[in-house]
Amino acid sequence: MEEYDTLMSLIDGMASDFLFIDGSEIDMITAGKFLNNLEGLIKEADGRKIFQLKTVAGGVSSLLEKIVLDDIDDKEAGFNILEKGIALMQEIGESFKNTRGYEGNIENFMESIAALTGARILEEPVEASWEEPQPAEAIDEIQDDSLLRDFIVEGLEYIDEIEVNLLNLEQEPENLDCVNTIFRPFHSIKGVAGFLNLERISDLAHSLENLLDRVRNKELSVSSRLIDIILDGADALKALIVELKENMEGNPGDPLKIDLTALKKQIESVESDDSDTVEVKKLGEILVEDGAITEENLEQGLEAAEKLIPPKKIGEALISEGKVTPKQVSQALRKQTKQAADTAVIRVNITKLDDLIDMVGELVITQAMIRQNSFVLSNSDRKLGRDVSRLSSIISELQRTSTSLRMVSIKQTFQRMSRLVRDLSRDAGKKVGVVTEGEDTEIDKNMVEEIYNPLVHMVRNAVDHGIDSSEERLKAGKPEKGIIRLKAFHRGGNVVIEISDDGKGLDKDGILKKAVKKKLVDSSHELSDQNIYKLIFLPGFSTAAAITDISGRGVGMDVVKQAVEKLRGKIDIDSTMNKGSTFALSFPLTMAIINGMIVRVGSERYIIPLTAIRQLLRPEKKSYNIIIGTGETINVMGNLLSLIRMYNIFGIEPDHKNPWEAIVVVVEGENNSKCLLVDEILGEEEVVIKSLGESFKNKKGISGGAILGDGNIGLILDTEGLFELSEI
């Protein structure tokens, strides 16, 4: 019968999961999942007055806790009883589904649990209750530290997941799938925290879970106030878990300044209030935004749809009138309901990934040595040639796959910035939106962590001082709502992250006057716009007066510059008064597969990223010029491009010094192109970028190294750095 479908689904799900457990070992994550399902089963059984099922489920739950906590001597016997318990629950459920009753005996099963655990039939589960805040959870009450460590890592990941999906929910408040993606991590935190006797965490997660359950049941509408409260709850959970981590590591900090009682009252006071509900974009609005129809077409379509009997939906009406195609409506509907798909993941120690990548690198070198072996090169056996070629193909794919394991998209970082903008704009009383581009751009995981703080500084400045007030924007003819744009992309072997705003822009004259007044620059020197803008990065430049005179862009910017330079990156600025500013952070890749062109200069070999190469040529003698004030140039298709002699930069004796006897590689930088003089092009190769360590971390013109086929090292060139070196 349908009324028992939920019940049987829970039991059958546990039975299915149980089949895939290897041996008698159950990890904490699996145990937490089982305990959550058992809790749901106990509630369902209690609601349907199936007391036999409720009792057996309670016994199984108690036994499972003791197995994971090593509270029983014979784990194998306990595992066997667990299996029997699941089978018994299936039997009881099927019986009630078919006959609305169960005539069997559960006493023998419960006695077997009591004999093993020393406990009788469990009392009815008591709902979590709110009490006055207690001291930090006592770690010594938890018998296995490894369980706690797993919970801390998993719990913090759950909080990040919750924050991201809350922002999605605010954009799509009627999407129940989005509500479920937030409900599940709260439910998991509650279940495992309850299992570990972490009462404050379990109680708070339980309360937030109940709040979301009311949203799922349409008792509450999604509003900005509700989102704020759940975010506050998530922040409190994160603080409690971090406190737990610090206590476990023996570094207890100050007591948390979180009033859980006040937070509980806020959660309980949330009422259904549609006045603050975030409006979902309608299908017609999306079609207008996409340029599929005009506002006039939309109004006509709405009128026509209402007059039809029976009335049609706007999409159907527009299709029937030939205003849009079914494909356009389908794409708009997908935008309206788009949600990120759940992805199955497994957590792996980063050291293991590093070891794997190193071993794959050794494998690549070995296969290259085999291919270059004189016996293989001179052998006419076609099968051997095919086998070696096949081996190279497999190893190349293995290399790509293994290296990609360390690469992560910048999407989550951008979403965290969106959360930051939301909070800051609310505090500042401004209306600010965030637009992101290139969220799928991948960079090394370690770099994601390193760039987080610089991005926070810059986004904070953009909201606090870059975006003007609503009144100022309206007077200037701008939309009332300001926009901060986050964009990521690869360029010339670098990762570029841009933070743009449509606010006040930088006051170039004000910056220069302030710098001269503080004697940071000499007034007699003429500076380019870019060099004037970069004055804001000087230590001591930011003062209270600067915040008033120059839009506050100096606040914390010296700290940002230090953090970026630590990663051998750089910052460029583009700004227009009253229109906005763009800060572009460019970083060399430290761990990624790139396609490179191997070139030789004298006895040394270098790798130039293919993405930076525009053209290869051997110039004619008449194309070479020396221009006063510019230096050596090569005429490339009518454009005079500066010549960089690689041997001078790296102190190497070349084979050729005359450009018309050597090879010129035209490479692109951020704003211009230049010519690199090399002796020979050796060919293309796919290489793994590796850091060169502390000794070379501040060397301009080099972004890393790679192991070449003969086992030697080739330096990977950073074109922007070479450009800078050539101008010194």
pLDDT over 80 at 436, yes or no = yes
| 584-601 mean pLDDT | 76
Q: Which fold has domain 2-117?
A: Four Helix Bundle (Hemerythrin (Met), subunit A) (1.20.120)
Q: Which residues pair with 616 in a beta bridge?
A: 665
Q: Give the pLDDT band (50/70/90) at residue 310.
A: low
The pLDDT of residue 552 is: 41
pLDDT tens, position by position, 390-412: 888 888 788 777 777 777 788 87
pLDDT over 60 at 137, yes or no = no
Q: Give the pLDDT band (50/70/90) at residue 606.
A: very high
pLDDT over 90 at 599, yes or no = yes
pLDDT tens, position by position, 260-303: 777 777 777 764 344 333 444 677 777 777 777 887 777 777 77
How far apart are alpha carbons 528 and 546 in whole angstroms?
20
Q: What is the dihedral of CA 651, 657, 661, 662, to 10 degrees?
A: 20
Q: Check residues 304 and 626 and name the one with the higher pLDDT.
A: 626
Provide the percentage of residues in the chain whose pLDDT is more than 90.
7
**Average pLDDT taken over every residue of the chain:** 76
pLDDT over 60 at 125, yes or no = no
DSSP letter assigned to residue 607: E
DSSP letter assigned to residue 464: I
pLDDT over 80 at 386, yes or no = yes
Cβ pair 245, 151 in contact under 8 A: no
| 667-677 mean pLDDT | 81
Q: Check residues 359 and 291 and name the one with the higher pLDDT.
A: 359
pLDDT tens, position by position, 53-90: 888 888 888 888 777 766 777 777 888 888 888 888 88
pLDDT over 70 at 698, yes or no = no
Q: Check residues 133 and 294 and name the one with the higher pLDDT.
A: 294
Cβ pair 482, 473 in contact under 8 A: yes
For 89-113, the DSSP string reads HHHHHHHHHHHS---S--HHHHHHH
pLDDT over 70 at 133, yes or no = no
- Residue 173: CB atoms within 10 A of its CB come to 19
Residue pointed to by tokens 């581009």: 437
- Return the CATH architecture of domain 593-726: Roll (2.30)
pTM, two decimals, is: 0.46
The pLDDT of residue 542 is: 55
183 phi and psi, to 5 degrees? Answer: -60, -45
Question: Residue 213 is encoded by which pair of tokens?
Answer: 């359950």
686 phi and psi, to 5 degrees? Answer: -90, 125
Least confident interval from 11-15, 461-465, 487-491: 11-15
Alpha helices of 144-294 — where are they, by DSSP H?
145-171, 176-195, 199-216, 224-248, 260-269, 283-289
* Residue spans per domain, the chain: 2-117, 139-276, 283-337, 350-405, 409-588, 593-726
Least confident interval from 138-152, 413-427, 627-641: 138-152
Measured at the alpha carbon of residue 420, what is the angle toward residues 286 and 173, in degrees to the nearest 5? 40
For 483-508, the DSSP string reads EEEEEEEEETTEEEEEEEESSS---H
How far apart are alpha carbons 394 and 706 in whole angstroms?
19
Cβ pair 607, 706 in contact under 8 A: yes
The pLDDT of residue 340 is: 33
Q: Give the pLDDT band (50/70/90) at residue 367.
A: confident
- pLDDT winner (highest mean) among 25-29, 317-321, 528-532, 635-639: 635-639
- Return the CATH architecture of domain 139-276: Up-down Bundle (1.20)
pLDDT over 50 at 547, yes or no = no
The pLDDT of residue 543 is: 39
Q: How far is CA 606 from the centre of its chain?
A: 33
pLDDT tens, position by position, 448-482: 777 888 888 888 888 888 888 888 888 888 888 89
Q: Which residues pair with 673 in a beta bridge?
A: 668
pLDDT over 60 at 134, yes or no = no
The pLDDT of residue 499 is: 92
The pLDDT of residue 676 is: 93
pLDDT over 80 at 718, yes or no = yes
Q: Check residues 166 and 436 and name the one with the higher pLDDT.
A: 436
- pLDDT winner (highest mean) among 233-247, 285-299, 515-529, 530-544: 233-247
Question: Residue 355 is encoded by which pair of tokens?
Answer: 């070891």
- Residue 581: CB atoms within 10 A of its CB come to 24
How far apart are alpha carbons 331 and 646 in whole angstroms?
51
How far apart are alpha carbons 408 and 452 in whole angstroms?
14
How far apart are alpha carbons 460 and 77 in whole angstroms?
58
Q: Give the pLDDT band (50/70/90) at residue 129.
A: very low
Is 139-276 in the same CATH topology as 2-117?
yes
pLDDT over 80 at 254, yes or no = no
| 516-538 mean pLDDT | 74
Domain 409-588 has what CATH class?
alpha beta
Largest CA distance in the chain: 103
Q: Check residues 720 and 2 and name the one with the higher pLDDT.
A: 720
Least confident interval from 107-116, 155-164, 682-691: 682-691
CB proximity list for 450: less than 8 A, separation 6 or greater: 563, 566, 567
- Residue 650: CB atoms within 10 A of its CB come to 18
In angstroms, the Cα distances linking 606 to 80, 491, 652, 715 are: 63, 19, 12, 5
Hey, what long-range contacts does 512-515 have (CB within 8 A, 24 or more apart)?
513/549, 514/541, 514/545, 514/546, 514/549, 514/550, 515/541
How far apart are alpha carbons 342 and 349 in whole angstroms?
22
pLDDT over 80 at 333, yes or no = no
3-state helix, strand, coil in the chain (%, to 5): 55, 15, 30
Q: Is 544 exposed, middle or buried, given 0-12, 13-18 or 19+ CB atoms closer than 10 A?
A: exposed
